[in-house]
Amino acid sequence: MPDKESRSLRKRSILFFSLIMLVKSYFAWYYLFEDGPTWTTWLKEIPFVLLLFCLIEWFATRRKVAIYLLVNLLITVLFFSLIVYHNHFGMIATSQVFGQVKQVGAVKKSIFAVVHPQYMLIFVDIIIIGFIMLRRKKALAWKHSMSRRSNRKALAVLFCISLVMCMMNIFPNKASMNENVKAEQMGILNYEAYAALLGQPEEEPMDRAEISQASIDKTKGIQPAHDPVLFGAAKGKNLIILQMESLQNFLINLRVDGTEITPNLNKLAAGSYYFPRFFQQVGQGNTSDAEFIVNTSYYVPPDGPATEMYAPKELPSLPKLLEAQGYATATFHTNNVEFWNRGELYNALGFDRYYDKTYFGEEDAVFYGSSDEVLYSKTSAELAQMDQHEQPFYAHVISMSSHNPFSIPESKYKMTLPERYEGTLVGDYIRAENYADYALGQFIDELKSSGVWDNSVVVLYGDHRGLPIFSLKEADKVLLEEILDHEYNERDLINIPLMISATGITAPSVKEQLGGQVDILPTAANLLGVPLDNHIHFGQDLLNQTKYNLLPQRYYLPTGSFVNNEELFLSGSGFEDGQHYTLTGDGTGLLQSTEDEFTRALELLRMSDSYVTQLPDREVQDKN
């Protein structure tokens, strides 16, 4: 009987583990792709699996079962990681993303929040096999059967067929713009191997001489303003830029059952320049990418966070522009400065000083550092001291208490949620942003009482989206549709607010022009009277360039996506199969994007990549 069983297992070794991988592939496709698995899924995933299994059968004569189980475990962990990452970011992660695994410990709360129990089903077979392996006789019989040699000619034929099928899945689809579409067309494992070994083909950098402000403006489709309004209207004033964690625009003026969610932001919006048609442009670095964009007016890199990819460069920046005008510069963040390599970024940007966890301590901790109340209390006191000097200052202040997963301590609750919001991500998000708004109100009051507010231009914006589409449960989707009067979509996802307030200069006004984070630098420079003649920038002054804007997107949306005056365009394999969302109403309507804009958006990204990568490397130094 044991011999008969051994022969049966020997014949089924590749088939047995291939079937397991097929089931797991279908499981992963169900969560990763909108249309789920199809009959072609096995043609895209199994050939790559068979390549690995043929190598095991060919070379592993000892411990074969252990190697099969190890490969099974590695692929399973990969699938699981991709599902969790996609649930949070909506993207298919690659080896470049996994290279940031060192950040996992710092954001584990956010990660655990998007790990659903059903995802663990992908490990069931490993648990069962592990239990069987503990039964010594069964384990020995299995190991013995799998240690026998397979037919090498058959293995060679199977390996060659599998290799050809992998190539047929990969190379015809490598030109697809949309990374998720590319993964679906190639197959998950083929896509991961392609990204790791070949990656995105590096475009030849544009000649530096071809990248001028005139060529950028022409590609963007705008004309420079010859007599800009409000140029220098705030000359000599301080500049305070507030970056609000996870703040989406739909929260402004939102009431839930009659309760204002962000009363202080609402008051600021009502008394300032308020830009509701404003959009994030961050990449893999999330919050730190927002800091990079706002301070440089460049786009994020195609792979990796700007803090890693661009921090080694001598970056032209807003702090350097203002330093040349006699400003002191500082940035305030309650987390450790080494998180996301911020220390190197701040040196590259040229900040005089940074204030991080070393300064703020861990008092009244919320998530990854001291609460927004501590941030604002200590920052306002420091700004009051800086304001006593004749030298004006630029301060970049980064809030953090409304960070995903939004589960703030009960001691920070400043509102009572309606019962239907309790226990939902949307409810937690609203409550966290309500607390962030409360703390912001205290900060504004402190700045006003010290006189700093009247001496400053204050710019406030959201760093990135708060509610990931793929993390939402059905109850969350129902609540958002109740709030928005339409189904929550990518247009709502990346829409963040911008507000600009300068006492005696700005007047209550809703500005309907389109804008993105890349536009903050030129807009602030205009108000402060700082010329940008020698600073290449990809944004535009929103107070003068009001008729048209083109905002390329990356990472959170597929490469090739962009926002224009009328709609958000999401690329497919190219332009023709892309998706269109109007910027008003429920997102449906006449198509308002053109292939010319698609081409120009890609060209702008290429110009930015080429310009930044050709900047000189800086000498590493510690300015703090």
Q: What is the per-residue pLDDT across 587-601, written as a single tens digit (0 to 9) for each?
A: 777 788 999 999 999
Q: What is the pLDDT of residue 621?
A: 52
Residue of higher predicted confidence among 131 and 25? 25
Ramachandran region, residue 246 (left: φ > 0; alpha: ψ -120 to 50; beta: rest): left
When pLDDT is averaged across residues 207-235 and rounded to a whole number, the result is 93
**What is the chain's mean pLDDT, rounded?**
88
| Paired strand residues for 240 | 395, 458
SS3 563: strand
CA quadruple 347, 348, 352, 358: dihedral, nearest 10: -30
Q: Encode pLDDT of 118-177 as tens digits.
A: 888 898 988 887 777 776 666 666 556 555 566 778 888 989 999 999 999 988 888 777
Does pLDDT of 111 surpass 80?
A: no
Please report the pLDDT score of residue 253 as a whole number: 97
Per-residue CA distances from 254 to 280, 353, 403, 433, 482 (Å) = 20, 37, 19, 12, 12
* Residue 107 pLDDT greater than 50, yes or no: no
- Confidence category of residue 1, pLDDT binned at 50, 70, 90: very low
Helix H or strand E encompassing 569: strand 567-570
Domain 227-539+595-613 has CATH 3.40.720.10: yes
Cα–Cα dist 548/153, whole Å: 64
Average pLDDT over residues 376-402: 95
Cα–Cα distance between 463 and 505 in angstroms, integer?
Answer: 25
pLDDT of residue 130: 75
Residue 9 has a pLDDT of 41
What percent of the chain has pLDDT above 90?
59
Q: Per-residue pLDDT averaged across 249-269, rounded? A: 96
For the chain, the straight-line distance linking the first and the last C-alpha, in angstroms and rounded, comes to 75
**Is residue 476 packed enough to be buried (19+ CB in 10 Å), middle (13-18) or exposed (0-12)?**
buried
* From-to residues of CATH 3.40.720.10 in the chain: 227-539+595-613
Q: Is there a cis peptide before residue 405, judged by omega within 30 degrees of 0?
A: yes
Tell me the whole-structure pTM to 2 decimals: 0.88
Residue range 469-493, pLDDT digits in tens: 888 999 999 999 999 999 999 999 9
- Please answer whether residues 299 and 553 qualify as being in contact, where contact means their C-beta atoms are separated by less than 8 angstroms: no
Q: Is 90 exceeded by the pLDDT of residue 337? A: no
pLDDT at 67: 85
443 or 622, which is more confident: 443
